[in-house]
């Protein structure tokens, strides 16, 4: 009787935690080539703003938004591929800022992936030949996190080096968001 | 019992005789390592004797013949006194032994890391999961960087400035000297002096993450002439490509992402995230002791670093077969 | 002292049968789940604690075998580096925090009240709370591991590797919060044991008559109280660094990486003695029984334990000899680390002297004691070796150290523990363990252990660092590694046989009487297993070996009430009876409080607000726990 109750409780605990922690911490250092190819199949709207992610991405449980390891990898790729040269630590420069919560092409993963992969007008180069699909998704997830409106549980940790902006796990965009004098475009604000 | 002891002693001797090799604390080839090995043998022999004594006392305590004692509380007062005296003596002996150990280790410590006046100074930075080696010089133009392979002159002390770049690593070449941690925010010093020419393997000794197991390096001890020649080669810029394949490799290296992380002096490639590749072809291994430097290994490494060393910081770069062949030819040619 | 409470029936007013029935009713644990959750009986909680800790031992052992499987050959790809790092971290964490410390405290929770002749441990509800916290902390860690969220930064979680930049995700947070769970549990038990030993001893059991196991647990408890806060502070600082952006350990912002190591080892080294001292107590107890004489050098042994406890706080730096601290400071810590050999030597010499002048009876517990001495001396001597700074620079963080601490922890603590389980099994269960199976498992474990761990010393000299998930084929390590992995199977076989012996003896062991070993201490004065009230009359003690001194009939105290849970509070030094104290009733609130605390602690991994909102249910459950009943607590 007691044993059964204990084991039921234990099973319930496992289930609760499994639901919360599912694949949050899995670390895959190398994606299977078929999955990587499938991830490449982003269905974009004709204006290349927003669209549908490939089915496999949803089936995997959106690992590039929810898995801290992938986000941390994205953060490293951000440094290695020289994103900071134009975008700074997210505050922008030659390129647009991510920290202010304004997204020229919308905040969806699909748009960000497309921006990185295919490039955008006014200077954003395509990284299609320089990065693997997996890396593009990791980087996109990190970029989305920089401009997050609400704090995320899965976020890369703050860097040990001195920083000029709030850490990624603290919803920097919500802290720094400035809607400006004009009303929001549906795709550009914290509350569409 | 004695046969067991003899077998144990034999096994010990055989086991310890196997302690030779290029990464062994008991096969010293450096001044410090030799001093340490001397101390270690002395301490181990003494401790072994102590253990044998304890066991030799315990055995008769268990198995000696004795008269029955019906009352557990009946104690033999004179024997209690004798035992007290023996124990006092044994405690005294313990104090003597540990005092001798403390003094010996203090004296040994003071004798370590003796330097001359003008020894070469090398800055070694532990990074996840490779070693950045920088030969310092009074003239900054003559300083240069390399990775995962440290050349030292035989018979001369070399001063190592050890720094941690990201997490804590530990610099350890057992055949030459004891280990020293590389800690972010601090600089530690270690002096090594190789007594014989040779190759000595070292390995990171502080757990530093997913690829801690594959973070090795080589110390190459060579005579003054060879050392000076090596220094000159390393100071020079990278050799220009020879042949169309290497030419194409260089072009691909610069146009693809390689140059963002790696430096090849004499070319626009000046990244500092990964190891300096100016003379990568002259090093004996790639991937921090993972593979021998051959063209095949180089191609395999570039093609799929995450399978060869899962979790390391070299990202997979999408390359077609031609580019892969050219780049590996170019890199192996950088001698 | 009010009249209406004094009016209850006293134990000298009824006959023996009536007495036992009334006491059993007063001290009973209700049947069913509710009763199980609400019980505050130190024997039930101690039993649970012991069983849970052994379950964690088995889990940790499985992890060890997985590691040996991976290391059996060079460049094996059976387990990947990420999983391997989780496995060795889990192994170390489980063995240290979920097995070694809890099991020692658990044995004490069961035995100390019996050995000093009282009816329950002090603060019994805190005791129940402690067990639930320990269980939930262990579950947190293991559920996380099952979900691939297990910590992967080593059991001492050095920063910056465990810090925010290099450990993305929640793995390191789970480790750090698990520390809080187990340390709260350990501190609770430590406080209970100190108070129990100081204030609840049977009349006449002055400090110089206290059994050595009780002395050992007293010293251990003080070590826990002084050492554990250091690691709780450290792990909390780590969590703050990781979650709310403090910079305690970040050199770029003025923090210090080595601060972590100082704090951790200020706890981490005494931890070794927290595990070892109880074993000293067990060995001293068993030696006396099986040599059939009082242990030689009682005072010397007590002093040696106290000295070990004090010295334990002066040698944490010997874990940091290669971090580049000043040479003179290091030499000081060499001296203090060597000095601990003196009390350890005194203990060994006294046990040998006891055996020499006694009449040894070779039952399984004594075999374990002998194996302990032979093995532990090796571990102690390698400890003297690594205490020397120059020696340590060559063996630090290698398999030599792995061999050393397994000799100390398995040889020095697990062997006595297995002996203790065999020795006290009849008291716990009323049945004897099988001598035949016991001897078999003894030889398998002792031989298997030495064959497994001795070659690791040599691997260390050959330059094999610890915590590597594989090694390259050109290194001369694979022969010995394969040998070690094969011998580990023998060691496991021994443990399995031990478990079989326990289960079989539980069902069909020979029934034991009250005192099957003819032992001298008080726990053998009551029935096996003891009734809920432990002793029908509180015994009165006139010497250090009460059951040998008065083998026929122990003098007893009387005058305790039967209608409420009463025990005797006595003076600290002389154990003069001072008052009749009421011991708390069963309560389910400690269980609820543990759940509320767990929710708060686990939630705080995900958001700092969990501390604020989680504090409310904790407060509510504590109110329930301490709700006054309007009865006086003690009567003089």
What was the pLDDT predicted at C206?
95
- What integer is the mean pLDDT of B66-72? 86
More confident residue, B144 or A152: B144
Residue A87 to chain B, least CA–CA distance (Å): 17
Mean pLDDT of chain C: 93
- Structural domain harbouring A99: 38-157
How many domains is chain B partitioned into structurally? Answer: 2
The predicted structure's pLDDT at residue C249: 94
Q: What is the mean pLDDT of residues C294-309?
A: 96
The average pLDDT across C268-275 equals: 95
Return the minimum-mean-pLDDT range out of C243-247, C500-504, C597-601: C243-247
In a domain, A43, yes or no: yes
pLDDT over 70 at B2, yes or no: no
Q: How far is A31 from chain B (nearest CA, A)?
A: 10
Predicted confidence (pLDDT) at residue C391 exceeds the cutoff of 50:
yes
Q: Kindly list the residues from chain B whose CB atom is less than 8 angstroms away from the CB atom of residue C80.
A: 310
Distance CA B88, CA B83 (A): 8
Of the candidates C392, C379, C254, C382, the one whose C-alpha atom is nearest the C-alpha of residue C317 is: C392
CB B134 within 8 A of CB B122: yes
Residue A2 domain-assigned (yes or no): no
Last residue of a domain, one of C584, C600, C624: C584
pLDDT tens digits, residue range A49-96? 888 889 888 888 888 988 889 999 999 999 888 899 999 888 888 888
Closest-CA residue to B230 (of B306, B291, B282) = B282
* B49, C378 Cβ separation under 8 angstroms: no
Cα(B249)–Cα(B242) distance, integer angstroms:
10
CATH number of the domain at A114, please.
Answer: 1.10.760.10
d(CA C46, CA C580): 24
Please state the domain count of chain C: 2
Containing domain of residue C426, as a range?
41-584
Does C481 lie in the same domain as C562? yes
The share of chain B scoring above pLDDT 70, in percent, equals: 94
Mean pLDDT of C518-532: 94
In a domain, C9, yes or no: no
Helix (H, G, I), strand (E, B) or coil at C553: coil
Contact at CB, A21 and C165, closer than 8 angstroms: no
Among candidate residues B197, B218, B235, the one where a domain is terminated: B235
Q: Is the pLDDT assigned to residue C4 strictly greater than 50? A: no
CA distances from B91 to C2, C265, C349 (A): 57, 28, 8
The answer to whether B98 contacts chain C (CB < 8 Å) is yes
pLDDT confidence tier of residue A44, bands split at 50, 70 and 90: confident
Q: Which of A27, A153, A159 sits opposite C606 (nearest CB)?
A: A153
Segment holding B3, helix H or strand E: helix B2-17
- Report if residue A93 sits inside a domain: yes
Is residue C570 located within the same domain as residue C626?
A: no
| B184 contacts C251? CB cut-off 8 A | yes
Interface-testing mutation among C356, C390, C482, C548, with chain B (most B C-beta atoms within 10 A): C390
Domain enclosing residue B215, as ranges: 121-235
Examine the fold and report which residue of B184, B204, B235 is the final residue of a domain before the chain moves on: B235
Residue B93 has pLDDT above 80, yes or no: yes
Summarised one tens digit per residue, pLDDT across range C608-622 is: 889 999 999 999 999
Residue A179: pLDDT above 90? no
Q: In angstroms, what CA-CA distances link C168 with A25, A76, B221, C152, C589?
A: 9, 12, 40, 11, 37
Which band of pLDDT confidence, cut at 50, 70 and 90, is reported for residue A178?
low
Contact C412, C379 (CB under 8 A): yes
Tell me the pLDDT tens digit for each residue of B137-172: 989 889 999 999 999 999 999 999 999 989 999 999
Residue C113 belongs to some domain of the structure: yes
Lowest mean per-residue pLDDT among B138-152, C58-72, C205-219, C315-329: C315-329
Does residue A134 lie in a domain region?
yes
pLDDT at B50 > cutoff 70: yes
C328 touches chain A (CB under 8 A): no
| pLDDT one-digit tens code per residue, C316-331 | 999 999 998 888 888 8
Cβ-nearest to C147 among A1, A10, A17: A17
Against chain C, the chains showing at least 3 CB pairs within 8 Å are A, B
Average pLDDT, whole number, for chain A? 80
3-state secondary structure B32-62: HHHHHHHHHHHHHHHHHHHHHHHHHHHHHHH
Determine the Cα–Cα distance for residues C605 and C611; give it in Å rounded to an integer.
Answer: 10
- Whether C13 is in a domain gets the answer no
For A150-154, B249-253, C102-106, C242-246, which range has the lowest pLDDT when averaged over its residues? A150-154
Angle at Cα C133 formed by Cα C131 and Cα C134, nearest 5°?
Answer: 65
Give C591's contacts (C-beta < 8 A, 6+ positions apart): C37, C38, C128, C129, C132
Confidence bin at B254 (pLDDT 50/70/90): very high
Comparing A19-33, B94-108, C17-31, C128-142, which segment has the lowest mean pLDDT? A19-33
The tokens of C135 are what? 């269980």
Q: What are phi and psi of A59, to 5 degrees?
A: -65, -35
Looking from the CA of C79 toward its CB, the CA atoms found within 13 Å total 23
What are the two backbone dihedrals, phi and then psi, of residue A22, each rounded to the nearest 5 degrees? -55, 115
Tell whether B251 and B222 lie within a shared domain.
no
pLDDT grade for A4, boundaries at 50, 70 and 90:
low
Q: Are residues C529 and C593 in the same domain?
A: no
Q: Are C360 and B62 in contact (CB under 8 A)?
A: yes
Same domain, C204 and C300: yes
pLDDT at residue number B21:
57
CATH of the domain at B164: 2.60.40.420
Chains A, B: CB contacts within 8 A come to 39
Encode B21-36: b = buried (16+ Cβ within 10 Å), e = exposed: bbbbbbbbbbbbbbbb
Share of chain C above pLDDT 90, in %: 86
- CB C76, CB C485: distance < 8 Å: no
Same domain, yes or no: C523 and C374: yes
Are residues C386 and C301 part of one domain? yes
CA distance, residue C159 to nearest chain A CA (Å): 11
**C505 and C596 both lie in a single domain:** no
B39, B105, B182: best to mutate for the C interface, most C CBs within 10 A:
B105
Indicate if C486 and C373 belong to the same structural domain. Answer: yes
Task: Please answer yes or no on whether B257 and A29 come within 8 Å at the CB atom.
Answer: no
* Residue in C297, C356, C391 nearest the CB of B43: C391
- C337 and C474: one domain? yes
Q: Does B231 touch chain A (CB under 8 A)?
A: no
Ranges assigned E (strand) in chain B: 121-127, 130-135, 144-147, 149-153, 158-164, 169-171, 180-182, 187-192, 198-203, 216-222, 285-286, 291-292
C513 and C599 inside one domain: no
Identify the band that residue A8 occupies on the pLDDT scale cut at 50, 70 and 90.
Answer: low
CATH number of the domain that C265 lies in?
1.20.210.10
Return the pLDDT at C589.
Answer: 95
Q: Is residue C534 part of a domain?
A: yes
Domain boundary among B212, B235, B258: B235
With cut-offs at 50, 70 and 90, classify the pLDDT of residue B20. Answer: very low
> Which residue of C377, C397, C549 is in closest CB contact with B170?
C397
pTM: 0.93
Residue of A nearest to B167 (CA): A160
C495 band by pLDDT with thresholds 50, 70 and 90: very high
Please give the ipTM for the structure prediction: 0.92
Cis before B72? omega within 30: no
Instruction: Tell me: do C229 and C265 sit in the same domain.
Output: yes
Asked if residue C298 is part of any domain, the answer here is yes
What is the tally of structural domains in chain A? 1
Give residues 155 to 194 of B whose Cβ lies within 8 Å of A: 184
Give residue B256's pLDDT: 85
Residue C606, pLDDT > 90, answer no
Residue that is last in its domain, among C584, C600, C617: C584
Same domain, C539 and C617: no
């Amino acid at each position: 009787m007691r044993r059964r109750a204990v084991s039921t409780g234990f099973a319930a605990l496992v289930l609760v935690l499994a639901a919360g922690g599912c694949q949050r911490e899995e670390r895959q250092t190398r994606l299977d080539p078929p999955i990587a190819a499938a991830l490449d199949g982003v269905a974009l709207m004709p204006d290349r703003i927003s669209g549908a992610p490939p089915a496999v991405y949803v089936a995997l449980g959106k690992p590039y938004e929810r898995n801290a390891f992938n986000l941390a990898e994205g953060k490293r790729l951000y440094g290695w591929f020289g994103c900071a040269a134009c975008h700074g630590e997210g505050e922008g420069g030659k390129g647009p800022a991510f920290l202010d919560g304004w997204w020229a092409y919308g905040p969806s993963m699909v748009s960000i992936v497309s921006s990185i992969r295919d490039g955008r007008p006014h200077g954003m180069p395509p990284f299609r030949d320089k990065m693997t699909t997996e890396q593009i998704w990791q980087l996109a997830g990190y970029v989305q996190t920089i401009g997050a409106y609400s704090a995320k549980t899965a976020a890369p940790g703050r860097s040990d080096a001195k920083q000029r902006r709030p850490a990624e796990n603290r919803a920097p965009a919500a802290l720094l968001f400035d809607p400006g004098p004009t009303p929001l475009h549906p795709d550009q604000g914290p509350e569409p | 019992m004695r046969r067991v002891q003899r077998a144990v002693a034999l096994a010990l001797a055989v086991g310890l005789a196997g302690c030779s090799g290029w990464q062994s604390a008991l096969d010293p080839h450096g001044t410090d390592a030799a001093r340490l090995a001397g101390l270690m043998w002395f301490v181990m022999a003494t401790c072994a004797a102590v253990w044998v004594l304890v066991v030799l006392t315990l055995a008769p305590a268990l198995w000696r013949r004795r008269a029955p004692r019906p009352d557990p509380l009946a104690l033999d007062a004179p024997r209690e006194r004798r035992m007290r005296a023996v124990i006092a003596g044994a405690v005294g002996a313990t104090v003597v032994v540990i005092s001798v150990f403390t003094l010996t280790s203090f004296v040994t410590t003071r004798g370590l890391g003796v330097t001359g006046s003008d020894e070469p100074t090398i800055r070694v930075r532990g990074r996840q999961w490779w070693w950045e080696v920088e030969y310092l010089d009074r003239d900054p133009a003559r300083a240069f960087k390399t990775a995962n392979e440290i050349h030292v002159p035989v018979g001369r002390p070399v001063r190592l400035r050890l720094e941690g770049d990201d997490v804590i690593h530990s610099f350890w070449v057992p055949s030459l000297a004891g280990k020293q941690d590389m800690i972010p925010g601090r600089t530690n010093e270690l002096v090594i002096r190789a007594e014989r020419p040779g190759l000595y393997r070292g390995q990171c000794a502080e757990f530093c993450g997913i690829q801690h197991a594959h973070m090795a390096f080589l110390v190459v001890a060579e005579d003054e002439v060879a050392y000076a020649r090596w220094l000159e080669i390393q100071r020079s810029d990278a050799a220009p490509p020879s042949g169309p394949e290497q030419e194409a490799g260089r072009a691909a290296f610069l146009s693809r992402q390689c140059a963002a992380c790696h430096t090849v002096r004499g070319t626009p490639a000046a990244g500092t995230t990964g190891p300096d590749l100016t003379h990568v072809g002259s090093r004996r291994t790639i991937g921090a002791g993972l593979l021998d430097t051959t063209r095949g290994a180089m191609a395999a490494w570039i093609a799929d670093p995450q399978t060869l060393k899962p979790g390391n910081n070299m990202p997979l770069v999408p390359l077609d077969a031609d580019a892969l062949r050219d780049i590996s030819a170019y890199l192996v040619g950088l001698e | 002292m009010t009249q209406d409470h004094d009016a209850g029936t006293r134990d000298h007013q009824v006959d023996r049968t009536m007495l036992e029935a009334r006491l059993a009713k007063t001290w009973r644990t209700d049947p069913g789940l509710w009763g199980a959750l609400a019980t505050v009986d130190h024997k039930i909680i101690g039993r649970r604690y012991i069983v849970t800790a052994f379950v964690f031992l088995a889990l940790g052992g499985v992890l060890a075998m997985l590691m040996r499987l991976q290391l059996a050959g060079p460049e094996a790809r059976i387990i990947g580096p990420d999983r391997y790092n989780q496995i060795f971290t889990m192994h170390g964490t489980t063995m240290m925090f979920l097995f070694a410390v809890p099991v020692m405290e658990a044995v004490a929770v069961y035995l100390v009240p019996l050995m000093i002749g009282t009816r329950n441990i002090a603060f019994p509800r805190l005791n129940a709370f402690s067990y639930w916290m320990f269980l939930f902390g262990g579950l947190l860690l293991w559920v996380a591991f099952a979900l691939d969220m297990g910590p992967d930064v080593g059991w001492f979680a050095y920063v910056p590797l465990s810090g925010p930049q290099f450990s993305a995700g929640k793995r390191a947070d789970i480790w750090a919060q698990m520390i809080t769970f187990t340390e709260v549990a350990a501190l609770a038990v430590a406080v209970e044991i100190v108070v129990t030993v100081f204030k609840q001893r049977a009349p006449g059991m002055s400090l110089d008559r206290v059994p050595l196991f009780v002395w050992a647990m007293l010293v251990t408890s003080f070590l826990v109280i002084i050492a554990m806060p250091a690691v709780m502070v450290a792990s909390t600082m780590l969590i703050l660094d990781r979650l709310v952006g403090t910079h305690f350990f970040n050199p770029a912002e003025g923090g210090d990486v080595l601060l972590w190591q100082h704090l951790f080892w200020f706890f981490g080294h005494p931890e070794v003695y927290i595990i070892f001292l109880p074993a000293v107590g067990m060995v001293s107890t068993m030696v006396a029984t099986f040599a059939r004489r009082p242990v030689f050098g009682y005072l010397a042994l007590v002093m040696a334990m106290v000295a070990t406890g004090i010295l334990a706080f002066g040698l944490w730096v010997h874990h940091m000899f290669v971090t580049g601290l000043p040479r003179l400071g290091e030499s000081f810590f060499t001296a203090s680390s060597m000095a601990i050999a003196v009390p350890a030597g005194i203990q060994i010499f006294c046990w040998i002297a006891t055996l020499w002048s006694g009449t040894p009876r070779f039952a399984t517990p004594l075999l374990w004691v002998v194996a302990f001495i032979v093995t532990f001396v090796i571990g102690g001597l390698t400890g003297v070796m690594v205490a020397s700074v120059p020696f340590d620079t060559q063996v630090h963080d290698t398999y030599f150290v792995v061999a050393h601490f397994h000799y100390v922890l398995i040889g020095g603590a697990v062997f006595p523990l297995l002996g203790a389980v065999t020795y006290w099994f009849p008291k716990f269960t009323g049945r004897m363990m099988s001598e035949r199976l016991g001897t078999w498992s003894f030889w398998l474990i002792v031989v298997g252990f030495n064959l497994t761990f001795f070659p690791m010393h040599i691997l260390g000299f050959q330059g094999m660092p610890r915590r590597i998930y594989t090694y390259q084929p050109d290194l001369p390590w694979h022969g010995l590694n394969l040998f070690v992995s094969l011998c580990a199977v023998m060691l496991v076989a021994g443990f399995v046989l031990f478990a079989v012996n326990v289960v079989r003896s539980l069902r069909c062991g020979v029934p034991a009487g009250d005192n099957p070993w003819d032992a001298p201490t008080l726990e053998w004065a009551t029935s096996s297993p003891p009734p809920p009230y432990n002793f029908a009359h509180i015994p009165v003690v006139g010497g250090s070996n009460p059951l040998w001194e008065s083998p026929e009939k122990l003098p007893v105290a009387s005058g305790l009430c039967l209608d409420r849970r009463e025990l005797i509070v006595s003076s600290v030094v002389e154990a003069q009876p001072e008052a009749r104290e009421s011991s708390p009733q069963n309560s389910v609130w400690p269980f609820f409080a543990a759940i509320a605390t767990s929710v708060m602690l686990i939630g705080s991994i995900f958001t700092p607000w969990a501390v604020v909102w989680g504090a409310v249910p904790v407060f509510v459950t504590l109110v329930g726990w301490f709700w006054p009943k309007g009865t006086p607590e003690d009567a003089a």
